[in-house]
Amino acid sequence: MLKKVFLFYCFLTFGIQVFSQGPQLSPLSELSLLTVGTGDELAAKFGHSAIRFKDPSLGIDVVYGYGTYDFEDPNFYLNFTRGKLAYTISRIPFKYFMRSYQLEQRWVKEQKLNLNLDHRKAIVSFLEHNLLPENRKYKYDFLFDNCATRIPLVFEKNLGDKLVYDYTHFKDHYTFRQLIHQNLEVNSWSNFGIDLALGAVIDRKATPYEHMFLPLYVYEQMKQTTIDGEPLVKKEQVILNIPPKEDAPLFILTPIFWLALLMITVFVITYKDFKKNKRTRWLDVALFAITGLAGVLILFLWFFTDHEATKMNFNALWAFAPNIIAAFFIAKRKLPKWFQNYTTLILGLLFINIVLWILKVQVFSILLIFILAALFLRYVYIIMYLKKQNTQ
């Protein structure tokens, strides 16, 4: 192990010495785009893009990748949540890059680029300049500044007008939400959570260029790109062939199971309450507290973070933040008279939610139907119950 660490240190030291003198590339040098398949973790669900620089004459084979972050950064989780976490570019040996994705069981495809020596020098010099301590950090944005969007920017800044994108292969233009959904299972907590956290701003159609916030679309677009009228990609190959996994989670662990169970529970308890002319207070407290807490989180992401994708989130209508306060009142046996009007208000917000969904102002998770149905029934029953209470 110590030997490997020593060799790795020597390799990096050698690389730094070579690059510090300016990129002295040989005619045998190559640049290629690496595209990595999806993984099990949420952060890996959308794949990865990186640039490989290989020069056999100098014994160099490294990979440059954007979107690296350090868990040891001060206030890591707070900065991540608020969209203020500093991301960096990194450079690692190709063999370590490949080993990490072998362990994660993710495929890797390589596209060798048709670039002359001057182009290669310019790009390597640009990447090395980005690696300098004063340049390496940047503020990550999931849609507009990530590991994939940085790749075309590198080429554009160094190749200029010689680089031409051809978008004629686009048959369908998707919204950002549809593009995100392409990488997630509908009946998954990650999909449900993303639809809950991200707002209406991602329901507009992405331009062909904006599709390249996903690595797979960068991969496809490079095949339709030219440099000085010649194809940018001269050769492509699969360098790590890992078949996609088809592991289906247990149904009992999926959101549709738990949300359907929630809806059925609310329906059954409400029916029993109706028959006995009573109100199950613990259920009402739970519903108001949970929707209120969810609303507070949504408003925090909307107004108090730098994440652009969390703005204009109309999930805040059903996940109504003031419900967290209303939960204390609804815990009482005798409710104040104004509570009937309050419940009528939040029932109306549910209708607005549905209208916005129908008009596609914001597309909500299909699983939200279970929650809306449960809340609708319970709110209607609370209003009916309070009318009886107030007339007695």
Going by C-alpha positions, the residue among 363, 336, 10, 354 that lies closest to residue 180 is 363
Cβ atoms within 10 A of the Cβ of 271, count?
12
pLDDT at 17: 44
Domain-wise residue ranges, the chain? 2-170+208-240, 251-391
Going by C-alpha positions, the residue among 330, 252, 257 that lies closest to residue 291 is 330
Task: Calculate the alpha carbon distances from 286 to 254, 262, 269, 368 in Å.
Answer: 21, 11, 13, 17
Task: Calculate the alpha carbon distances from 256 to 166, 186, 260, 264, 363 in Å.
Answer: 41, 9, 6, 12, 18
How far apart (Å, rounded) are the C-alpha atoms in residues 91 and 66? 9
pLDDT at 78: 63
Q: Is the dihedral of CA 317, 319, 320, 326 positive or negative?
A: positive
How far apart (Å, rounded) are the C-alpha atoms in residues 30 and 192? 42
Tokens encoding 368 = 């939200």
Q: Compute mean pLDDT per 10 residues along the chain, 392 residues long, and list them.
A: 36 46 82 94 88 96 87 63 78 96 95 97 96 89 91 96 94 92 92 95 95 96 96 96 81 95 98 95 97 97 90 97 97 92 97 97 97 98 91 70
**Which CATH code of 3.40.30, 3.90.1720, 1.10.1740, 3.30.450 fits the domain covering 2-170+208-240?**
3.90.1720
